[in-house]
Structure 1
Amino acid sequence: MEAKETKKRKVIDIDPDTFRILSIDAAEKGTNLKALIENSLREKAENLKDSSLYAYLKQTQPVEGYLDEKEKAAFEKEMGL
C-alpha cells in the first residue's frame, strides 16, 4: 500500500487590492485564485531549493579558476547556447 502525502492547509489574509489583482491575473490565465497562489508558491519553493543547492555547492566545491575562451565555447556548444 502506498503512503499518501498529506497536504498542509493554511488560512492567509490578503489585502483587497492584492486579492483583486491576483484574481484578475488568475482569470486571464484561465485558472482560479487558489490554484494561482498554489502554483506560485510551488515555483518559489523550487527556486529556493535550487538556490540552496547552488549555495551549498559554491561553499563546498569552490571554483579553482575561470574558463578560458576555448573551454567556454565548448561548454556553450555542448549546452546548445
Structure 2
Amino acid sequence: MNTVSVSQSKSSHRKLIDIPEDVFTALSLKATSMGMNLKKYIEHLLIQEAEEMDDAEVYKYLVSTRPEGKVMLNEQEKDDFMRKHKLGAYR
C-alpha cells in the first residue's frame, strides 16, 4: 500500500550535493533525453522515490527511531504490525 503523500506545492528545502563527474554526465544526458535540465530531473527522481515508499517501511523506521511514531495505530494494530515485522517483543 503506497500512500505516502508527496506534493511539489509544499514548501521546499535546498540541499547542496556532490556527485562524481561520470554520474553528473550520465544524469545530464538522461535529463536532456527527457526534455529536462539536470536539476529538474534529480528533483523528479527524488519525488518519485518518495512516492514509491511503502507505509510499512516508513512506520517500521519511525518505530525504531522515534517513540512518537508508535502513536499512528491503535494498540491492536500496533501489536499486529510488530508481530508481522518481528519488532520489539516479537524479535
What TM-score results when the alignment is normalised by the length of structure 2? 0.51
Secondary structure of 1:48's counterpart equals coil
Q: TM-score, normalised by structure 1?
A: 0.56
Aligned residues: 59
* Candidates 18, 27, 30, aligned match of 1:13: 18
Q: 2:50 aligns with which of 37, 45, 48?
A: 45
> What runs of 5+ residues in structure 2 fail to find an aligned partner?
1-8, 61-72, 85-91
Structure 1 stretches of 5 or more lacking a match?
Answer: 63-81
RMSD in angstroms over aligned alpha carbons?
A: 3.0
Q: Percent identical across equivalent pairs?
A: 35
Equivalent in the alignment of 1:59 = 81
Give, in angstroms, the shift of residue 50 of structure 1: 4.7
Deviations 1:21-54 (A, max 9, x none): 000000000111000000100010111145537x
Higher relative contact order, structure no. (Cα contacts within 8 Å, ≥ 6 residues apart): 2
